[in-house]
Amino acid sequence: MNHDDALLREQIVRVSRVDERGPIPEFLAKKDAEQAKQTCEGYRYALQRFLAFVGDNATVGDVTEATGHRFLRHLREEQLSENTITTYLRSMKAFTRWMHKKGWTERDRFADVKQPPFVRPKFDTLASTEKQAILTSLNPDTFLGARNLAILCLFLDTGVRREELVHLKEARVRLSEGYIEVYSQKTNDWRVIPLSSEAVAICQNYLKWRDRFMARPIRRRVDKADSNHRVKEARSRTSDTFFCTWLGGRLSVNSVGWMVRRLSAKLVEAGVSGRIHPHLFRHNFLTEKALDGENPSMVRRWAGHRKYEMTDYYFGLAEAKLAAIKPKQSTLAGLQILPKRRRSNQGKVTGRNAAKSDRQ
């Protein structure tokens, strides 16, 4: 059956709602059900860009190989980075493969549209002076300062993703045992990550200031338009997550991102550090673990990578940095290889004999 005349996205306005149908809404509904939220947003944004390029009234028949090449040229004309272009095109190729599989098209029409290669970024690890500048820029003796300090320390000490950190359950933070349990939507799995004694102490400091802060009442406006009259109300935590807002609710992914961006701008202005972002701490954690000679299997578990290929990439960065990664223990450790030699006094010249021979 030929579907070339079907709209890619058709909106049907009803009395109480707006329904959507067509290949794009169907594809996004599938991704929403199967993929992590951030991954789905990537597909949605790529399809929105494509629809803006071909027009809102575009049909299945407009999805052709020629359109794919024109869309690729359009992205390059917008001066996007090669990796961004690759990400958009990869999402579009997944969409056209799905269209063929579901019978919307007779074949994968983007099969011959060449996807630019993805170039993994090269980056250096954070120096000790940079880490010191980042962490000492926050006041550990206030609720917000202690909270943000604990967030940065968990980023540095565990390499968790931003969405994993904001959803970290308090019941899964085992400070006395020295580890956290993290759930990843990407792998649909729990993983255990050890905590250093320094990170445990900083998290305990955050809990102390959080309890003090939540015990104090909040002064709310009686009316939103009236800034002169306020009423005191007790604060209460409404979230079961480890980190919370000043109102006691759950932190959002965007709020953590804004916190790091504000800190980054402050450090750049002071000239003490380059630009930082939440995922940089993850890069730093994994590269430093590779430099330390950690077991790649353990690093993969801590990172929550689905494939060894991603973990191996960080070990490759470490090799380029060190030329060779020293193992934690030599495979020759404990083996007696060279024969033990007896110490002989024959031919040994003592200090007294040497002085005597000099006098002669």
Q: Which CATH number fits domain 128-322: 1.10.443.10, 3.50.50.60, 3.30.70.330, 3.30.2130.30?
A: 1.10.443.10
Q: Output the tens digit of pLDDT for each of the chain's 360 residues.
A: 789 999 999 988 877 888 889 999 999 999 998 887 778 899 999 999 999 999 989 999 999 999 999 999 999 999 888 888 999 999 999 999 999 999 999 999 999 999 888 777 666 678 888 899 899 999 999 999 999 999 999 999 999 999 999 999 999 999 999 999 999 877 778 999 999 999 999 999 999 999 999 998 877 777 777 777 777 777 888 899 999 999 899 999 999 999 999 999 988 888 876 778 888 899 999 988 888 888 889 999 999 988 888 888 888 877 766 655 566 666 667 766 767 766 655 555 555 554 554 555
Residue where the block lists tokens 């007896």: 342
Q: For residue 201, give Cα distances in angstroms to 102, 174, 197, 243.
A: 54, 12, 6, 15
> In terms of DSSP bridges, do strands 10-13 and 18-21 run parallel, antiparallel, or are they unpaired?
antiparallel
Residue 174, strand partner residues: 179
pLDDT value at residue 359: 52
Cα dihedral sign, 172-175-177-182 = positive
Quick check: pTM over 0.75?
A: no
Domain 10-101 sits in CATH at 1.10.150.130
For the chain, first and last CA: distance in Å?
A: 114
- Write the single-letter amino acid at 190: W
Residue where the block lists tokens 């689905």: 306
Domain boundaries, the chain: 10-101, 128-322
Whether 10-101 and 128-322 share one fold: the answer is: no
Query: What does the angle CA 192 – CA 130 – CA 124 come to, to the nearest 5 degrees?
Result: 70
144 closest CA partner among 255, 233, 3 = 255
Torsion of CA 230, 231, 234, 235, to 10 degrees: -20
47 closest CA partner among 106, 91, 104, 112 = 91
Q: For residue 128, give Cα distances in angstroms to 94, 123, 180.
A: 42, 16, 24
Residue where the block lists tokens 């040497």: 354
Q: For residue 233, give Cα distances in angstroms to 207, 216, 285.
A: 21, 9, 42
d(CA 31, CA 116): 23
User: Could you report the per-residue pLDDT of 316-360, keeping only the tens digit for each?
Assistant: 877 766 655 566 666 667 766 767 766 655 555 555 554 554 555
